[in-house]
Structure 1
């Protein structure tokens, strides 16, 4: 067995995105989501015991978080001096779950260039010494999650520029290869992805995702063929990219802010090594076009480069295909009054065509 495989590398190498590609039937996936809160309540006493053991804290008050993840459950542990976050695995999904160690692996790199993140207090993976599941303990993020703030907050240009700048700073961290961050590295090794290069990752499961989108009526047969041609024709573009550390899931739930500035990026389990445009495109998929200009201004001049714009459009399209399959697997409903989420696929195709035609201005009007 390769050393990568010792840290779930064999499984993670098969994923473009975990919730899209994990080998688990859809009914079971939805059940995991629907039972998360009850399971979090059930294991609260075990979390309390584990935190006391790992950090030698007493007394301590542990409660389930209001919002739960699907593959990881979340608890808040309050001590006399501070509040901590505990994320724990669901062993029926992955056992052991080394994705809980990603923050600890990345922490020295993030600290070196002052990317705002939360310190890791302790990690217990694979031992079952303190609990019948794996867990990681973090400081509570300062500020507030963008998800918990009014929508109007996300319209603030200063905040949008701060998010762009935080992402640009993150992308100063170099790596090699492509795809999910390898969790088994020697002391003298830099960050690297589990795939040979970024192109291999971008093409991973592409045909399956396109077929899945076609099967649920998100795209037609002709559109599916055209999309596959786009990626085949531009495979070389995906190979010739700068390889940097990417967060991989910079939605509002993972961005904490205070006074219109980013103070923490959390939950790095989907971290990648690859093209910076992927993180940019991921953020763009979460937000309407009216917010894009200020965000891109904060990211800097690189976002105006024609090569960057083409790769960003390709990344947006690739993410949209994956997200559409992901949403279908979990039976997520579209929000009232908004376009169907799969419309992002068509926006991605249009953006690629606009860039290739030499159009300037907004990519995703």
Structure 2
């Protein structure tokens, strides 16, 4: 059994459903400490929803008064989504099992294999390169699948206050489609939700002249919002999308005009629009239609984009060398903790195994994908080492 597979199985066996870490971070800290990492816990949140966060930095940097080396961070989450009905699993979700060349267990693809591959790849790299030209760190949390309030988000705020420097970040999200390395995410759309309450006047449905139907009044504005072209996207992002997710109105009786209607909607927006500009345009539409309303906004994350450069180039070269694939750059899909890290790190990408089984019953990963994933991470480190050594020599 390879070291990567062994560590993956150890992590899967720990039932770390959000926000529980179930000992994953202790296991990882025990692996990183002998490699020369100083491990710092930055736990956060109330006692009944305590989030565990680990910041591990190579002690070569910790011991220095000031390091001017660039910093590469491997970021990920130890928490997993609930397994769902246990009787529907072919084997217990927190007992790693092998069948037909696949490793089954909750977190196998999202994203305990990536974390194990991070650790082993860094160990192999440091054994061959004990004094790298850049510093290496890990940022791991137990709150990515949940509210994402006291995890990476709060760690980033701590880093802002103390001036922690990050230059490159690889998030181990499962980004591949068919083969490990066939797709990486070099950005993500922003997400912003709105809860719109349109007020009317409740009354008897037989006397509409004595009432004011907020559903009828809201529909023209909603139609305009649904047909608005918010932007046209760009070379990396599709156009911004506005979608209604829920509409709640009425008393439950068929003869009562409701007094208000509540509409939940969401923007998935690209770098061509900002949260401020989108909010302004929505209010303009609602005001123009003369609605009596209130609107509460929730910003889940701003969009980020890493254009091809040092990090993207290193990962692309590593994937090509290990698999022969010309990887596809993509910004599709949902959000990740990359949206928080991008606030303090100029180059953030996501790269991990195939994602076809994530969050599903019988989540799994092909065993044949595990060592190539670890090798891609290690070869990325080697690519960055060659780049930085060349720059240092040239200087």
TM-score range, shorter chain: under 0.3
Q: What TM-score do you get using the length of structure 1 for normalisation?
A: 0.27
- Larger RCO (CA under 8 A, 6+ residues apart): 2
Higher Rg of the two aligned structures: 2
Q: What TM-score do you get using the length of structure 2 for normalisation?
A: 0.26
Higher helix residue share: 1
